[in-house]
Amino acid sequence: MNKKLKEKIQESLTTVLPITTVVLLLSIFLLPIDVGTVALFLTGAFFLIVGMGFFQLGAEITMMPLGEGVGQHLVKTKNLVITIVVCFVVGVIITVAEPDLQVLSNQVPSIPNAVLVWTVAFGVGIFTIVAVLRILLNISLLKILIVLYPVLFLVSFLVPADFTAIAFDSGGVTTGPMTVPFIMALGIGFSSARCDKNSDSDSFGLVALCSIGPILMVLLLSLFFHPGDASYDMTEIAELFTMQDVVHQFIIALPAQLKEVSVIIFPILLVFVIFQLCTKQYRKKQILRLLMGLLYTLIGTTLFLTGVNTGFAPVGTLLGAELAGSPFKWMLVPVGALVGFYIVKAEPAVQVLNNQVEDITNGTVSRNSMNRCLSIGVSAAVALAMVRILTGVNIYWILIPGYILALFMAKRVEPIFVGIAFDSGGVASGPMTSTFLLPMAIGACVGVGGNITTDAFGVVALVALAPIIAIQATGLVYAYKAKRLPVTAVSDETDYEFIDLEEE
């Protein structure tokens, strides 16, 4: 086995194992789940581990170098029109290729899937332009966010209330495992070409802005479709008596998933081919390496989504429904918090983000620190989502104060932490959230007899919000530590001093 691939699979094992253990313990001590379903879940975990390993290697080999290459070349052309057109097209293509978006679109039958997907993609395309122009013109990310979030909430007050949570969820699922590596690398490519003191901090923020576009566009779309009757098709688990029955479920799902992912990968391949024909940037050996990376991405995404959709999503729905229907329905809150703490580690795009943060900050913001903050944030978010399901609290009571707090904190941390934090929000709400936590929330909502549209939907939006606050809280701690301790080294490339809390 490729040494690098082996390392990635080992990393995946350490991230997926905790959430697998949590679900197994719940099935033993709290909710008796039949052996066939447990076997289905464990097989899904195996697919998840191997798939994430392939995906991360593929993203490292192909998606990030391609994104950086496109960004750097567009800066060198110094042609604003070409830059705008390419950014819009790339933003649309990458979003259409996002598997998370397909998952969400299937849950909103009142709007045709294609309409929802292309509306979201159009929003990402527009805001990719906004994000790139922000980097090129050296505009503060915070100033843009302070303007855009109030606009989002004002527009949301004008649309049907039943659709608010779905619109905010669309912003979270858009920035998934296919979009994040490319979009983040695109930002790094543009900012690195500037080579000024703010280039490091400006390399973050693209994911954050690209998350806003879908929310705004879907809110506007709801004015025309009035999707108050949005519903969800509950996933049913087939009767499984032997391991052969379990394996058969995955064999059936694999070809369909491969076909879907192949369609997803094709636009990215098209971007690479067009870019290479226009720029001749890569030599033959580099081209072969990039194509191999795309193959790894294809294999990894196929295995990952097969494992999630076949093994994890059905168990998530069952877990939520069983807990909500039991005498201990308030156990949903601590169980949700526990699941949220570990599930974010299994998001493939989170690992991509953490690696890029560690690289661009020269290791001063470590992967472990990022993982810890994201886990705490998502844990709190899922707990709040479960409270909403049990009480019917309007999502505005959480989102509006949450974003006010996030923007207030953003004025008091270093700019690089603002970009990292708001990017983390989009990255944390990936395929594991949309295909495990969302089904779990929907199962719980059905179990308590709640309104799925207003109560279950919104879990993705809360997961996207919590890391923003958690990461910026870390930024405040770093700033406090920096004031207390003497500065030992000053970087020639940035004004920001970082102190690794783990070393204190």
Decide: helix, strand or coil at residue 479.
helix
Average confidence score pLDDT of the chain: 81
Higher pLDDT, 504 or 470: 470
> If we measure between CA atoms, which residue out of 460, 407, 452 comes closest to residue 432?
460
Q: What global pTM score does this model have?
A: 0.80
Q: Which residue has the higher pLDDT, 96 or 47?
A: 47
CA separation for the pair 162, 447 (Å, rounded): 20
CA distances from 258 to 304, 314, 356, 468 (A): 11, 20, 28, 34
- Indicate whether 43 pLDDT > 80: yes
Give the pLDDT score at 226: 61
Alpha carbons 358 and 9: distance in angstroms, whole number: 20
Which residue range(s) make up the domain with 468? 3-503
Q: What residues contact 307, with CB distance under 8 A and at least 6 apart?
A: 43, 44, 45, 46, 47, 48, 51, 250
Instruction: For residue 127, give both structure tokens.
Output: 């805001």
Q: Which is nearest to 473 in space by CA: 365, 353, 373?
A: 373
Portion of the chain with pLDDT greater than 70, in percent:
86
Quick one: tokens of 320?
Answer: 């939520």
Q: Please, which pLDDT band fits residue 150 given cuts at 50, 70 and 90?
A: very high
Q: Is 175 helix (H, G, I), strand (E, B) or coil?
A: coil
> pLDDT, tens digit, for every residue of 234-255?
566 777 778 888 888 999 999 9
Q: How confident is the model at residue 492 (pLDDT cuts 50, 70, 90)?
A: very low
Rounded CA separation 21/13 (Å): 12
Residue 454 — pLDDT band, cuts 50, 70, 90?
Answer: confident
pLDDT at 234: 58
- Give the pLDDT score at 139: 86
SS3 138: coil
The pLDDT assigned to 497 comes to 43
425: three-class secondary structure by DSSP: helix
Q: 9 near 49, Cβ under 8 Å?
A: yes
- Given a cut of 90, whether residue 17 has pLDDT beyond it is no
- pLDDT on residue 145: 92
Query: Comparing C-alpha atoms, which of 168, 164, 166 is closest to residue 156?
Result: 164
- Report how far residue 369's alpha carbon sits from residue 390's, in angstroms, rounded to the nearest whole number: 32
Q: Name which of 428, 394, 453 is nearest 104 in CA terms.
A: 453
In which band, very low, low, confident or very high, does the pLDDT at 193 lie, cut at 50, 70 and 90? low
Q: Which of 148-162, 172-186, 406-420, 451-465 has the lowest mean pLDDT?
A: 172-186
CA–CA separation, 321 and 491 (whole Å): 53
Distance (Å, whole) CA 164 – CA 153: 9
Work out the average pLDDT over 90-96: 84
Residue 504 pLDDT more than 50? no
Residues 6+ apart with CB under 8 A from 375: 340, 341, 342, 344, 345
The answer to whether residue 342 scores a pLDDT higher than 90 is no
Nearest partner of 466 among 349, 337, 353, judged by Cα: 337
The backbone torsions φ and ψ at residue 503, rounded to the nearest 5 degrees and listed phi first, read -90, -10
What pLDDT was estimated at residue 47?
A: 92
- The number of distinct structural domains making up the chain is 1
Residue 498: which pLDDT band, with cuts at 50, 70 and 90? very low
Q: Is the pLDDT of residue 29 over 60?
A: yes
For residue range 273-320, list pLDDT tens digits in order: 888 888 888 888 889 998 998 999 899 889 988 888 888 878 888 888
- What local confidence, expressed as pLDDT, does residue 204 receive? 78
**Which residues lie below 8 Å from residue 475, measured CB to CB, with a gap of 6+?**
409, 413, 414, 417, 418, 420, 421
The answer on pLDDT for 97 being more than 80 is no
- 96-105, 160-169, 423-432: least confident range: 96-105
**Whole-angstrom distance between the N-terminal and C-terminal Cα of the chain?**
38
Identify the three-state secondary structure at position 399: helix
176: exposed, middle or buried (Cβ count in 10 Å: 0-12, 13-18, 19+): buried
Backbone angles phi, psi at 110, to 5 degrees: -70, -15
Amino acid (one-letter) located at 418: V
Looking at the predicted structure, is the pLDDT value of residue 361 above 60?
yes
Note the pLDDT of residue 12.
82
Least confident of 166-170, 379-383, 461-465: 166-170
Please spell the DSSP secondary structure of 486-499, one letter per residue: PP----SS-S----
